[in-house]
Amino acid sequence: MIEDVGAAAPALCRLQLAVELRALRDTSGLTASEVAKRLVVSPSKVNRLEAGENGVVEPADVMALCGIYGADPEQRATLVGYATVTKTKKDWWQEREYAPVIPPGFKAYLGQEATASALHNYESEYVPGLLQTEAYVRALHRRAHEGLSREEIDRLVAVRMTRQEVLHRNESPLRLIAIINEAVLRRRVGSAEVMREQLEHVAELASTLPNVRVQVVPFEAGEHPGMNGAFTILQFRERDPFNPIVYLENLADAWVVRKQADVDRHEEAFTDLQAFAPGHPESLSMIKNAIEEF
């Protein structure tokens, strides 16, 4: 339960609402299809509510569901409060200034990242987004997205910097395990100064934040489980009824993968990479040695 609903982010309210609605339905013994018939809606709407996928949740829908489940007045008021937050407040990525630079697939991911408990990320070409410096982000976008205006690049930088707040939140900061290819340390992005500052930033976060762990896959290790490309796995709190999901992206699109077989395949690959790469201390030494080369 969220202690201060009025101060909570909509993404968190959607997640908590989804958890409690699912628990109420389970207690009632009703299926999603049975609930949908009583509400005169499609079963997919009930499933979306229980998955926290609706950007805005109507308080009237929550009131109706509480009536079906026999929720007590106090719980009903709390759940309606969560729904009200989703109607009256916006998550930062929903603000108009960011809309032009956030594609739909990435917007869906941001809502998941904001409420995840852990993030496992393998990157082969660049420093993971949650560990990037502003100068590094600017250099990346100037080259990877040629033709963007300065204003658009500023917005992309703002999105990246704001995302990183999940690592520093006061309550349950996101646990990040980042595994990177050694090429990420060697490839200069921007100037030597930009690259040196970036690697120092990674080393500092990995050394000072207990929720951040970094490993490096060295060239000398040869072929490895991450050679099919970068991927991100999001995990949620054990008490939440949400399975891990995978996020993938390319030049054309970005999307979230939920199919269990695909998620299992990526989790297995990440576990293999963790065992394959040198440990955290050894990887930090590799990063510090790379700093000396710039």
Q: Which residues pair with 257 in a beta bridge?
A: 246
Q: In terms of Cα–Cα distance, which of 155, 148, 151 is closest to 106?
A: 155
CA 103 to CA 177: how far, in whole Å? 25
| The token pair that represents 69 in the structure block | 């489940």
Q: Is the pLDDT of residue 30 over 70?
A: yes
CB-based burial of residue 197 (10 Å sphere; 0-12 exposed, 13-18 middle, 19+ buried)? middle
| The token pair that represents 16 in the structure block | 């908590």
Model confidence over 133-146: pLDDT tens digits? 999 999 998 877 77
pLDDT at res. 97: 81
Q: Which residues pair with 172 in a beta bridge?
A: none
Are the beta carbons of 182 and 127 closer than 8 angstroms? no
Q: Considering the entire predicted model, what is its pTM? A: 0.81
Model confidence over 106-116: pLDDT tens digits? 877 888 898 89
Model confidence over 214-246: pLDDT tens digits? 999 999 988 998 999 999 999 987 766 678 999
